[in-house]
Amino acid sequence: MQISKRIGSMGEPALLKYYPLVDEAKKKGKKFYYLNIGQPDIETPQEFMSTVRNQGAAGKVLSYAEPEGVPELRTEASKYFRQFGLDYSPEEILITNGGSEALLFTFLTIGNPGDEILTPEPLYSIYKEIAKASSLEMKGIMTYAKDGFSLPSEEEIEKLITPKTKALLITNPNNPTGKVYDRDEIERLKRIALKYDLYFIADEVYRDFMYDGLEYVSPGQDPELKQNTIIVDSVSKRYSACGARIGFIMSDNDEFIYEIRKLCQMRLAVSSVDQMAAAKLFKLDTGFFDKILREYEGRRDTVYEKLGHRDDIIAKKPTGAFYYVLKLPVIDAEKFIRWMITEFGKDGESVVLTPANDFYLDPENGKDEVRLAYVLNQKDLARAADVLLAGIDEYKKEHPENIKEEFKK
Amino acid sequence: MQISKRIGSMGEPALLKYYPLVDEAKKKGKKFYYLNIGQPDIETPQEFMSTVRNQGAAGKVLSYAEPEGVPELRTEASKYFRQFGLDYSPEEILITNGGSEALLFTFLTIGNPGDEILTPEPLYSIYKEIAKASSLEMKGIMTYAKDGFSLPSEEEIEKLITPKTKALLITNPNNPTGKVYDRDEIERLKRIALKYDLYFIADEVYRDFMYDGLEYVSPGQDPELKQNTIIVDSVSKRYSACGARIGFIMSDNDEFIYEIRKLCQMRLAVSSVDQMAAAKLFKLDTGFFDKILREYEGRRDTVYEKLGHRDDIIAKKPTGAFYYVLKLPVIDAEKFIRWMITEFGKDGESVVLTPANDFYLDPENGKDEVRLAYVLNQKDLARAADVLLAGIDEYKKEHPENIKEEFKK
């Protein structure tokens, strides 16, 4: 018996890798601030929970939902997305088991084994695994902390196109960098998508998490990109409902929708209860998110006030999602994270971070970077940042061998 | 832009293909008995619904569940399956988005593109689509209505093994045939699995639907097959909870479990609400299914009394699941099904069946067969069978060109 090459080549997410160490330290009484996972702490709207309650009271037979999703959810989603200039009919919207199934189905549909998808790097680490499961190759458009992770010029991006390139993929706002792509960057990618006849996939699960009044720009708003664009979304982040596995695929490309529907039929249905409850979320007053947005913007600022002005950290202020990629004075961030968990404590407290090399295609990149998720209230977040800074200062003294030359003094 | 070959080659399930015709006929006032889909009509246990109610009342943040499934469900499932001689620890049980995700993940893990899976034919039609999505080849062990769909000899099966064969797959009890494999047949497959070092996948979603006091035999009970066996299961049929997308992968093969866990991590989680509610189902008194089993056995008998003694139908009495594959006197069952929907009516009523050629790898096979699902109460089922027989009799007169020679007189 064998294990297939595609699955054998997959990795385990770095997110999970430190939990045994954390558990051990917790047993010894250490308290941790979890800055490593993108699990919002905001309350799930009561409308979800009360619909779940009513579902439980109502149904007699919990039947299969339609393979494409229940009509009520598709209709409500269609109305909801129109306010962002995303004009998709219910028939152009498919419901999936979370955004991750939306991406898996999309990858399986748009490329033959060996075909390539081009995406800004650092990239959401799960893309690498979905690509392996689909026998596709991820190729990176490298972006840098010092530039706030902006895209390079059109010419630089074009150099990366090969005959095997089938799609451009952006996470916008970006996980892990928090970068929001502006109109000029989207236009660059648009010209390339049209010139080389590529799908333009926009993973917009963080759409609502945009700060400083930035303009939302999506290929889904552009009539010239109607055939190219595939929008992926999810209720997880906006509605703080990660445990409801409800994602979306939207496209005006009839052939693509016809073909990807076969994958929906193959797996029969998405959870009926989750779908009915999610439909109610889309009926919420659009003002519901205003308070949450202000809270997240405040969190971003709290982190920036603490970490943004250090000489030994590169931390440009991100404008979206709820992440920072921080460039630290350390040579190997994995070692530093491990030390923070097992050795360090400030008044019995420490923090858990994610090593950023998991967000690069070559794990030799991003070795001096970490991802920080600001999913704690501002008081805890300020405290966590202080603990992190104290950790960096102590680590410099105790482990100079893992500190870059210029920060050793 | 392109559509990948794997998805382009997939089909649409025949199950769904007649719905537009049915909708049209319904508008004209025709009433239909749906014998085409495997959606049980039995009430979902109140324990599921009340847990959903309580979940709705309790949770504040609906968080991601663990990638492998919530511990409570894995623990309860582990206890439950032990009573069948399936001895899996919670760590050897992974929770999936329904049985279909369990199969997709299994296929992706056990074979490289072009590798083969051997399964009795007719086969559950979705296997064909999962194989295409996974770039694997399904190969059939042909079985026949006249033999009650029993397996051929060990020698016959061995002839079908090639260097690309990586797994044997059985649906036991079988969908679409209702066949339950006996100890002798399982032993035949066991010897082949061991001789050729193959995975032995048993899809046992209909495990509880076994009649006439038959013995349950599973490769999961056999210590010599511990490394080979992969059990796939689901709550859908047993608990009449198809709309809860909760499936299972169970295996003693540590390497297999380690690798397939990566796919669970890739798609982050399964619905939290569905999992918590499903955990309660496994705590139900084991007697809860007795009444349901008697009801289904009665349904099977009702169909047999009506259809089992006709000279022009081959309908051996099945011993499991809730399906018959019927060999009809017609040459092309698809035409007959279409005619039943659009033309025929007995007192304004007709039936919807599934053409069986969808359950064969070559659609030229099974052209004279249909699958009948007995998921109606016995009164409706008896009436539906009468309607079907009246339809066959009238069709013989009206469409002799689609009737086999020997039944024309």
- pLDDT tens, residue by residue, A391-401: 999 999 999 99
Determine contact, residues B141/B174, Cβ cutoff 8 Å. Answer: no
CA A397 to chain centroid, in Å, comes to 35
Q: Helix B125-133 to helix B98-110 angle, to the nearest 10 degrees? A: 50
Task: Give the pLDDT mean for A48-77.
Answer: 85
A127 vs B16 pLDDT, higher one:
A127
> For residue B321, what are the CA distances in angstroms to A325, B220, B296, B325?
54, 19, 9, 12
B41 vs B395 pLDDT, higher one:
B395
Task: Give the pLDDT mean for A134-158.
Answer: 97
Q: What's the mean per-residue pLDDT of chain A?
A: 94
Determine contact, residues B352/B344, Cβ cutoff 8 Å. Answer: no
From chain B, pick out residues whose CB is under 8 angstroms from the CB of A2.
Answer: 110-112, 166
Backbone phi and psi for residue B162, each to the nearest 5 degrees, phi listed first: -125, 175
pLDDT at residue B249 greater than cutoff 70:
yes
pLDDT at residue B398 greater than cutoff 70:
yes
Subunit contact A244:B111, Cβ cutoff 8 A: no
Does the domain at A5-43+288-395 match CATH 3.90.1150.10? Answer given as yes
**For residue B317, what are its two tokens?**
């009495």
> For residue B140, what are the CA distances in angstroms to A32, A107, A239, B128, B217?
55, 29, 46, 11, 22
- pLDDT tens, residue by residue, B156-199: 999 999 999 999 999 999 999 999 999 999 999 999 999 999 99
Subunit contact A7:B126, Cβ cutoff 8 A: no
Subunit contact B243:A64, Cβ cutoff 8 A: yes
* C-alpha–C-alpha distance, residues A136 and A123, integer Å: 15
Percentage of chain A beyond pLDDT 90 is 86
Per domain, the residue ranges of chain A are: 5-43+288-395, 46-281
Confidence (pTM): 0.95
For the domain made up of B5-43+288-407, the CATH class stated in words is alpha beta
- Considering CB atoms only, which of A5, A6, A61 is closest to B41? A61
* C-alpha–C-alpha distance, residues B17 and A36, integer Å: 47
- So what's the pLDDT on residue B58? 65
B56 vs A70 pLDDT, higher one:
A70
Model confidence at A57, in pLDDT bands (50, 70, 90)?
low
- So what's the pLDDT on residue A145? 92
- pLDDT tens, residue by residue, A286-344: 788 999 999 999 999 999 999 999 999 999 999 999 999 999 999 999 999 999 999 99
CA distance A313 to chain B (A): 31
**CATH code assigned to B46-281:** 3.40.640.10
From chain A, pick out residues whose CB is under 8 angstroms from the CB of B54.
Answer: 56
Subunit contact A108:B4, Cβ cutoff 8 A: yes
Residue B258 exposed, middle or buried by CB count within 10 Å (0-12, 13-18, 19+): exposed
Model confidence at B8, in pLDDT bands (50, 70, 90)?
very high
The reply to whether domains B5-43+288-407 and B46-281 share a CATH topology is no
- Considering CB atoms only, which of B10, B266, B269 is closest to A262? B10
Subunit contact B112:A63, Cβ cutoff 8 A: no
Alpha helix segments (H runs only) across A59-177: 71-82, 98-110, 125-133, 154-158
Interface test with B, best of A5, A6, A7, A197 (most B CBs within 10 A): A7
Q: What's the mean per-residue pLDDT of chain B?
A: 94
- So what's the pLDDT on residue A59? 65
Between the two ends of chain A, the Cα-to-Cα distance in Å is: 56
- pLDDT tens, residue by residue, A323-339: 999 999 999 999 999 99
- pLDDT tens, residue by residue, B251-295: 999 999 999 999 999 999 999 999 999 999 998 887 889 999 999
- pLDDT tens, residue by residue, A236-257: 998 888 899 999 999 999 999 9
Give the list of residues 6+ apart from residue B379 with CB closer than 8 angstroms, or none.
none
CA A8 to chain centroid, in Å, comes to 24
- pLDDT tens, residue by residue, B323-366: 999 999 999 999 999 999 999 999 999 999 999 999 999 989 99
- So what's the pLDDT on residue B57? 65
- Considering CB atoms only, which of B3, B64, B111 is closest to A242? B64
- pLDDT tens, residue by residue, A348-386: 999 999 999 999 999 899 999 999 999 999 999 999 999
pLDDT at residue B59 greater than cutoff 70:
no
- pLDDT tens, residue by residue, B146-155: 999 999 999 9
Subunit contact A11:B262, Cβ cutoff 8 A: yes
